[in-house]
Each structure stands twice: as C-alpha cells, then as structure tokens.
Amino acid sequence: MIDMPEEYMDHEDVYALMMEALDGELSDSGWAELESHLRARPRLAHEWEAMRAVDALFRNSPILHPAIDLTRRTVAQLPSPRQRLYAGIIIYVMLLASGLIPLGAIAWIAIQLLPVVAQPAFLRGLWQAGVEFLQLLQVMTTALLGGAGEFVRQQPAVLAWFVVIVAVIILWAAVYNRLVLQSRRVES
C-alpha cells in the first residue's frame, strides 16, 4: 500500500464529506465535521464555496430539449441517395488504391532485388542462416525442456497440480459434451 501523508488522507475525507453534502446525503454529525474542517482550512473553504456555486449553477440551469422538428430538419439535410452512392464509390476507390499502392511498392522492391537474390552466394548464405536458426531453436528447446524437467524434479507438486488441472479440464469437457448432446436429443 502507498504511504500517504496524513494531511492528504484528511483532505480526501473532507472531499468525500463535501460530495455527500452536495448530494444532500450528509448527516448532522457529518455537517458539523465538515464545518470544523472548513473553519480550520481556509483553502478548503474556498474550494467548498466554488463547488457549491458550480452545483447551484447546474441545479438552476434550465433543462434543454431539442427542437420538435429537429429530426425532420436533420434528415432533410442528408445528401440524396445519388450523392451517397458517388461518395461511396469515391471512398471505395480510395481504399482500393491505398491497398494497391503498398502491393505495387513491394513488387517494385522485389524486381529491384531480384538480381541480388538470384545469385548462388546469396542463396547459400540464406540456407546457412536457416540451418543455424534451426540449430539455435534446437538448443533453446533442449535448454527449456531441461530446465522444466529440473524444476519438476525439484518441485514434484507442480507436476501433481498439472495433472489435476488436466483432469478437471477433461472432466468438464465430458460434462459439457454430455449436456450438449442431451440438449440436442431433446430438441430432436
């Protein structure tokens, strides 16, 4: 837990009292506590007055309702079906072009690199890099499995938990399958 100064925690309590007071949910003892805090801290009293002013502003503001014919006027301002069709075609062509431009760039790069890639020395180097990568994967897998085996050897409870988890999964899969098959039989 984060250590907070006592004064900060006290401010949070005072702010909670302020919120309850604004909502009209503060008891008489809460009002007395809030007033004592506000007398002791002029800065908080200033904030309380600002909060009360904002609350009064919200409570006294008229509730605005949309105009009666807002829907009709909004629908009338929408573009015609022909304009929507043209806009849709333009957007479709732009999206198509934005997909074709990267493909064209990739094709151009491939054509530029084709003479380099087709050289036997490059292919040999690529093959050698692939073989070395597979060897690296083999070493990593061997180390990972060896470490896991050593961990299980030192902590046999891990293996027991793994077996329990697998058994629970198998059990619930069987229960689920049975329920699904029964519901299908009932539907038939």
Q: Residues 11-29: pLDDT tens digits? A: 788 888 899 998 888 899 9
Which of 47-84 are b and which e, b meaning 16 or more Cβ less than 10 Å from the residue's Cβ? bbeeeeeeeeeeeeeeeeeeeeeeeeeeeeeeeeeeee
52-79: average pLDDT: 81
For residues 37 and 45, the answer to whether their CB atoms sit within 8 Å is no
pLDDT of residue 9: 43
Q: Report residue 148 as tokens.
A: 């896991």
Residue 6 has pLDDT above 80, yes or no: no
Q: What is d(CA 24, CA 14) in angstroms, rounded to the nearest whole number?
A: 15
Find the range with the poorest average confidence among 44-58, 60-74, 121-135, 147-161.
60-74
Residue 14, judged by CB atoms within 10 A of its CB (0-12, 13-18, 19+), counts as buried
Give pLDDT, residue 106.
92
Reference 57, options 29, 12, 22; nearest CA is 22
pLDDT exceeds cutoff 80 at 74: no
Distance of alpha carbon 22 from alpha carbon 48, whole angstroms? 10
- Is the alpha carbon torsion for 58, 63, 64, 66 positive or negative? positive
Distance CA 110, CA 104 (A): 10
pLDDT bracket for residue 180 (50, 70, 90)? confident
Whether 1 has a pLDDT exceeding 80, the answer reads no
Give alpha helix (H) positions in 24-80. 28-40, 42-60, 70-77
- Going from N- to C-terminal start, the domains of the chain cover 6-60, 121-154, 156-188
What is the average pLDDT across 139-165? Answer: 91
Burial class of residue 117 in the structure, from the number of CB atoms within 10 Å of its CB (0-12 exposed, 13-18 middle, 19+ buried): exposed
> Quick one: what percent of the chain has pLDDT higher than 70?
91
| The pLDDT value given to residue 186 | 64
